[in-house]
Chain A
Amino acid sequence: MRGPLCATAALLPAVSGGRLAAHREHCLRCQADDARRRSLARELAALGGEVAPAPATLHGAVMARLGPQDAADPRRVLAARALARRVAAAGVGLALLAALVAGLARRRARATA
């Protein structure tokens, strides 16, 4: 049966001190889990060294579609768009405020007339 320390050790594989370390030292289940974890990490890292040859058509397809280059920083474009949005929102807000003030002024003028 898997105890709470086994479950904790599985959740925190990087923690290597204190009670967990002592538990791992004598728990065969945790040792087997650790071994499987290390083996999986090795297998995954080994995949990083493999290379899948690109399709023979890739180079030609890329070269056929080369368009103009763009030196403009997209972050500036995004910042300009965000600024434009804020300015537009502020404009709408001001227009609403002006309409409200005008409405109130009209109502007051009618009341005093």
Chain B
Amino acid sequence: MGPGGVQRDEQELLARARAGDGEAFGELVWRYQDTVHTLALRLVGADLAADVAQEAFLRAWRALPRFRGEAAFSTWLHRITVNTAWTLRRRDRRHPTQPLEGDFEDTGPRPERAGELAEARAGLLRAIGTLNPGQRAVLVLRDIYGWSGAEVARELGITETAVKVRLHRARARLRSRLEGER
């Protein structure tokens, strides 16, 4: 099936899920569970990621009748994930910021550089794990996922100026941590 077919297929699944078909929604969960879980892992760490992903899918299911298709389904789902992560993180203040450990798929660096890259990546993940939740959310959405400052501000409920300030501090802290490690 070509990309157009996949798109049509997804539209059909969405229409069925919007009408309350749990099986169609289950198919959508299969398709998006890895990306939603990855985003959750980046935002809140391994400790809460599964809870955030699960809650995000449940919120998406409840809200599906209101999904008008103005944005792509994946974008809508990611926004729900960000909001859920934000809510659960606030609710769960007992948890300190978690390191970004996770069972990531190997994206295939060349064997001779694999060890070096893996070490650099692990250092970067450790450094991200030391950021406070607000700085981390902004850095993850802006620098890892490439969202615009306005999108980040809207989804986190903060001003664009606050986004800039947090991003600046987060980057400075990351650089300082990484320079300390290297």
Q: Which residues of A contact B (CB under 8 A)?
A: 11, 36-37, 40-41, 43-45, 47-55, 57-59, 61-63, 65-71, 73
Contacts and interface: CB of A to CB of B under 8 A. Distances in A.
Contact of A44 (B30, B66, B139): B139
Given A40-B174, A53-B34, A54-B37, A48 B145 contact: yes
A73 B37 CA distance: 26
Given A43-B121, A48-B146, A54-B37, 5 more contacts: A45-B146, A51-B34, A51-B104, A58-B37, A63-B26
Contacts of B38: 50-52
| Chief secondary structure at chain A's binding surface | loop
A45 B30 CA distance: 25
Grouping DSSP codes into helix (H, G, I), strand (E, B) and loop, the B interface class, with mixed when no group exceeds half, is helix
Q: Which of A52, A57, A62 has the most CB of B within 10 A?
A: A52
Contact of A50 (B33, B58, B105, B120): B105
B22 A63 contact: yes
B42 A47 contact: yes
14 contacts: A44-B143, A51-B34, A51-B38, A52-B37, A52-B102, A52-B103, A53-B34, A55-B50, A58-B33, A58-B53, A58-B57, A65-B58, A67-B61, A69-B64
A45 B144 contact: yes
A49 B107 contact: yes
Interface of B: 20, 22, 25-26, 29-30, 33-38, 41-42, 49-50, 53-54, 57-58, 61-66, 102-105, 107, 120-121, 124-125, 139, 143-146, 168, 171, 174-175, 178-179
A37 B145 CA distance: 17
Nearest to B174: A40
Contact of B22 (A37, A48, A58, A66): A66
A65 B62 CA distance: 11
Contacts of B104: 50-52
